[in-house]
Amino acid sequence: MPVDEPDADSPVESAAPRPAPPILDLTAEITELTEQIIACESVSGNERRLADAVESALLELGGLWVHRDGDTVIARTDTGADQRVVLAGHLDTVPLPSDPETRGAPGFRGTVPPQWMTAEGTPCGTPPAAGRAEDDVLYGRGATDMKGGVAVQLKLAADVAARLRTLTAAQSLARDVTWVFYDHEEVEASKSGLGRVLRTIPDLLAADFAVLLEPTHGAVEGGCNGTCRLRVTMPGVAAHSGRAWMGRNAIHAAAPILAALEAYEPRTVDVDGLAYREGLNAVSISGGIAGNVIPDACIVEINYRFAPDKTEAQAQDHVRQVLRSAGIDDELAEVTDSSPGARPGLDHPAAQAFVTAVGGVPKPKYGWTDVARFSALGVPAVNFGPGDPLLAHTDDEHVTAEALRACYAAMHRWLS
C-alpha cells in the first residue's frame, strides 16, 4: 500500500537509533578536533550521533542559546552587538566507498575511521608533543567536505563562549554570532535541514552576513552559479528493427539536441567584478527497450549552470531557446529541478570587512552552494573553508594540518 511522504518542513529523522554520541573535545587543537568529527560517521540520513555530539559540546560551553531541529543544531549569542553573522556548515557526508576492500583500506580512500599520514605517505597516528607538522595529511570521509569546516565552527564557538565570560553587563561582542550545523545537504534539496529552518523559523537565521565553511582552498568564494535541469522526451514509433521503416526512431530524433549542445558556446559573465563560467550540457540519455525494437521514446537530461545575473525563469527560457534552435518544441521539455544563483554581495560593508580580515583575492563559486539560500533571505554570504574542493567526494578525500590551522586563524582574526 502507498506510504505517505513526510512533510517537507518536518525534521528528517535518522534511520535508526544510535548509541551514545562521541565526546567532542573543543579544547583540542583544530587538527585533532577534525579527526574526532570525521571518526563519527554521518552519511546523509545518519547524522544523529554527530548532531547529538555537537549539541552536547555547545551546551557544555555555556553562555550560548542552543536549539535543536531534527538533526540540525543552532547556537546563538545575544549581546546586543550592532552586527550579527551566521557561520553555517553541514554535518552529513556522501556515502563511503561501496567496495569492501576500499572501505577496509586503513586511513584513506574516503574511509571512517580517519588516519593521519605524513606528506610522504607514512602513517603517523599519535601527534608529537609539538603538534602535527604543517604538511601532515588527514584522510577520511568528510575531511574536505566539510568536517574541517565544522571543526572550525566549533572552535570558534568555544572562543566566543570564553569571551562571553569576560564581558560585563554593559559590554557586547564585536559581532553576535549564529552557528548552524545542519543535516541532509548532500541529498535532494527538499530534505535540507537548512532549507527546513529557513522555511519554518527564518528569524533564527536573520543576519547581516553569513559564511558557509565549505572547502574553498582558503580563498573567499563569492556567490554561486544557479542550476536548472530539464528533461526532454523525444517521441517515436515502435517497430521491429527488421522493419524499421514502419517506425520512427526516437533516439535518432534526439540527435539535433545533442548537436545543439555540442555546438553551444558557454558564457563567462562578469557579476560584481567576479567572472562566472556557465555550462550547458547533456548529463544523461536513455531510450530503447530491446535490441530488436525501434525505440518509441528517448529522454535527454540537460543541466544548465547559470551565472547569478539571471533569474531561474530567465535561465529556463535560455535553455528552451537553445532547444528551439534545434527544432524542439517547448512542450517536450520539462523542468525537473531548479535553484537560483547568488550574487557575490562583496560590496556589502560586512563582506568587505570579512575579506579584509581573512585576506586574499575573492573568487567566484562555479558550483551551487547554500549561499543561495541566504541570498534569497536577503543575507549576503560567501564560501570560505579549509580543504581543496576538487577533493570533495573522492576516494582519497583529505585535508592538511596547515589548511585547517590557516582557516581557523583567519576566522578567529575576523571575529576578534
Per-residue pLDDT of the chain (416 residues; tens, 9 = 90+): 333 444 557 665 555 565 677 899 999 999 999 999 999 999 999 999 999 999 999 999 999 999 999 999 999 999 999 999 999 999 999 998 765 554 445 444 567 789 898 888 888 877 766 678 888 999 999 999 999 999 999 999 999 999 999 999 889 999 999 999 999 999 888 899 999 999 999 999 999 999 999 999 999 999 999 999 999 999 999 999 999 999 999 999 999 999 999 999 999 999 999 999 999 999 999 999 999 999 999 999 999 999 999 999 999 999 999 999 999 999 999 999 898 999 998 999 999 999 999 999 999 998 889 999 999 999 999 999 999 999 998 888 999 999 999 999 999 999 98
Q: Do 179 and 277 belong to one domain?
A: no
How far is residue 257's CA from residue 160's CA, in Å, rounded to a whole number?
55
- Give domain status of residue 166, yes or no: yes
pLDDT score for 18: 56
DSSP H or E stretch at residue 297: strand 297-306
Q: Do 319 and 357 belong to one domain?
A: no
CATH number of residue 96's parent domain:
3.40.630.10
Question: Distances from the Cα of 60 to the Cαs of 69, 330, 383, in angstroms?
Answer: 18, 57, 28
CATH number of residue 260's parent domain:
3.30.70.360
Question: Three-state DSSP class for 92?
Answer: coil
pLDDT score for 125: 74
The residue whose grid cell reads 552587538 is 81
Rounded to 5 degrees, what are φ and ψ at 317? -65, -35
Structural domain tally of the chain? Answer: 2
Q: Do 392 and 252 belong to one domain?
A: no
Q: Do 357 and 368 belong to one domain?
A: yes
**Of the candidates 52, 55, 32, the residue with the CA atom closest to the CA atom of residue 42:** 52
Q: Do 292 and 380 belong to one domain?
A: no
Angle in degrees, CA 3, 5, 6, rounded to 5: 125
| C-alpha atoms less than 13 angstroms from C-alpha of 228 in its C-beta half-sphere | 21
Looking at 311, 339, 367, the residue that finishes a domain is 339
DSSP H or E stretch at residue 50: helix 48-61
- Give domain status of residue 14, yes or no: no
Angle in degrees, CA 327, 328, 329, rounded to 5: 115
- Give domain status of residue 194, yes or no: yes
Strands (E), 81-238: 84-90, 115-117, 137-139, 176-182, 209-212, 221-222, 226-235
pLDDT score for 16: 55
Instruction: Kindly report the three-state secondary structure assignment for every residue of 335-396.
Output: EEEEECCECCCCCCHHHHHHHHHHCCCCEECCCCCCHHHHHHCCCCEEECCCCCHHHCCCCC
Q: Do 293 and 162 belong to one domain?
A: no
Q: Do 215 and 246 belong to one domain?
A: no
Residue type, 370: D
Q: Do 260 and 302 belong to one domain?
A: yes
- Give domain status of residue 273, yes or no: yes
Q: Do 194 and 232 belong to one domain?
A: no
pLDDT score for 154: 99
- Give domain status of residue 2, yes or no: no
How far is residue 33's CA from residue 41's CA, in Å, rounded to a whole number?
14
Q: Do 267 and 388 belong to one domain?
A: no
Write down the pTM of the prediction. Answer: 0.84
Looking at 320, 339, 358, the residue that finishes a domain is 339
Looking at 339, 364, 393, the residue that finishes a domain is 339
Active site members: 92, 185
- Give domain status of residue 379, yes or no: yes
How far is residue 93's CA from residue 109's CA, in Å, rounded to a whole number?
14
- Give domain status of residue 300, yes or no: yes
Q: Do 318 and 332 belong to one domain?
A: yes
Q: Do 235 and 379 belong to one domain?
A: no
> In terms of DSSP H, where are the helices of 134-254?
148-164, 193-200, 250-253
* Sign of CA pseudo-dihedral 174, 180, 186, 187: negative
- Give domain status of residue 296, yes or no: yes
Range of the domain at 192: 30-223+342-415
